[in-house]
């Protein structure tokens, strides 16, 4: 295994000293998965990986060498990655304060061409996602009032409107909020903990944002207050178990070729350098939800939305499709053997008490 990508072999780390107690269970012990040096090395590898799969930019095109959400992430600071020894949740350490997280996302910049490309991708993703979750969301009829926290480029708001739901978005990003409004959707710019919102929502959706929250417990309490009795909470989060399993496979990889395959699986699901504040497991997230008045009713494994776009080289388009098929098969085999979900992404539905 190339030493620059080897995981650190350090038993535990005291999280209490770093304002980083586990966000799921409050545990203070963390097993180091990646040192700060490991994270930096993974980031360099990821930049080379995606640069090799991007076609050269043509005159007048946006530069594709630093594609947002491929190799350049909001959470890109060099830090350690640890797994809570009590519940297995994966966390970045040290963790920024809630105010620092909100400020970072508020100032995040993409550019119009990148936002347009992301919107096209996410429009298709959310149309398919709501179709797949239709049985679990059948209680939401036409006219249902729903809230999305972290509306980003408006993909979900568009799909919700097509189903006849009255959807409101909330996003701290100033550029993304302006962009979504320009698309014709209703979005408020600000923190859901601070905005004046009328309660009684039939459902609250938090897609690929809950893991980036600086104060998830406070947000859950706020969501419960905003929901009508028996209302639904829908979350999509990265699975910390996928990260720990991939790192274990890399530790045991008998060859550089096998190591590269695992890294590809991580890269095509945005796990290289672990660019998230938190990677819950299905069990740790279910326990957190229960502690805040929610009963988890459905958990479904998935891969990330398609990364390939018009600037992706043809071989990389085929490679991504092949790698994700292999990941899905491997996760199903692991589930049959262990009864646990290893999928890189989790769709979770809970009902308020």
- Domain residue ranges in the chain: 99-352
Answer yes or no: are the C-beta atoms of 82 and 33 closer than 8 Å. yes
Answer yes or no: are the C-beta atoms of 212 and 309 closer than 8 Å. no
Burial class of residue 133, CB neighbours in 10 A (0-12, 13-18, 19+): middle
Q: Which of 140, 147, 182, 179 is nearest to 163 (CA)?
A: 140
Answer yes or no: are the C-beta atoms of 239 and 279 closer than 8 Å. yes
Sheet of 294-302, strand order:
187-189, 166-171, 145-149, 201-207, 227-238, 345-352, 294-302
Q: How many helices and strands in the chain, by DSSP H and E?
A: 10, 12
Report the DSSP pairing between strands 145-149 and 166-171.
parallel
Q: Class of the 99-352 domain?
A: alpha beta
* pLDDT by 10s per residue, the chain, length 353: 344 454 444 445 555 455 568 999 999 999 999 999 999 999 999 999 999 999 886 555 544 444 455 666 655 567 899 999 999 999 999 888 877 777 777 667 788 998 999 999 999 999 999 999 999 999 999 999 999 999 999 999 999 999 999 999 999 999 999 999 999 999 999 999 999 999 999 999 999 999 999 899 999 999 999 999 999 999 999 999 999 999 999 999 989 999 999 999 999 999 999 999 999 999 999 999 999 999 999 999 999 999 998 889 999 999 999 999 999 999 999 999 999 999 999 999 999 98
């Amino acid at each position: 295994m190339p030493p620059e990508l080897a995981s650190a072999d350090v038993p535990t780390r005291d999280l209490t000293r770093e304002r980083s107690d586990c966000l799921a269970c409050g545990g203070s012990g963390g097993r180091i998965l990646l040192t700060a040096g490991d994270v930096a090395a993974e980031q360099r590898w990821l930049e080379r990986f995606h640069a090799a799969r991007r076609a050269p930019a043509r005159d007048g095109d946006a530069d594709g060498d630093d594609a947002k959400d491929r190799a350049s992430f909001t959470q890109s600071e060099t830090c350690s990655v640890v797994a809570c020894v009590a519940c297995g949740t994966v966390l970045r350490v040290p963790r920024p304060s809630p105010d620092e997280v909100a400020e970072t996302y508020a100032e995040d910049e993409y550019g119009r061409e990148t936002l347009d490309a992301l919107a096209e991708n996410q429009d298709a993703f959310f149309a398919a996602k709501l179709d797949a979750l239709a049985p679990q969301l059948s209680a939401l009829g036409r006219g249902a009032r729903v809230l999305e926290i972290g509306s980003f480029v408006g993909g979900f708001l568009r799909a919700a409107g097509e189903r006849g739901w009255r959807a409101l978005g909330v996003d701290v990003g100033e550029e993304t909020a302006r962009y979504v409004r320009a698309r014709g959707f209703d979005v408020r710019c600000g923190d859901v903990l601070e905005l004046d919102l009328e309660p009684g929502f039939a459902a609250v959706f938090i897609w690929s944002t809950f893991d980036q929250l600086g104060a998830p417990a406070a947000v859950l309490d706020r969501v419960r207050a905003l929901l009508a009795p028996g209302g639904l909470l829908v979350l999509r989060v990265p699975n910390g178990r996928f990260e720990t399993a991939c790192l274990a496979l890399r530790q045991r990889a008998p060859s550089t070729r096998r190591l590269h395959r695992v890294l590809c699986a991580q890269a095509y699901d945005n796990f290289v350098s672990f660019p998230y504040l938190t990677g819950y497991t299905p069990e740790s997230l279910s326990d957190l939800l229960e502690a805040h008045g929610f009963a988890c009713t459905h958990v479904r494994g998935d891969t990330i939305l398609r990364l390939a776009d018009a600037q992706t080289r043809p071989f990389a388009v085929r490679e991504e499709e092949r790698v994700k098929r292999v990941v899905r098969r491997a996760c199903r085999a692991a589930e049959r053997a262990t009864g646990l979900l290893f999928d890189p992404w989790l769709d979770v539905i809970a009902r308020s008490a």
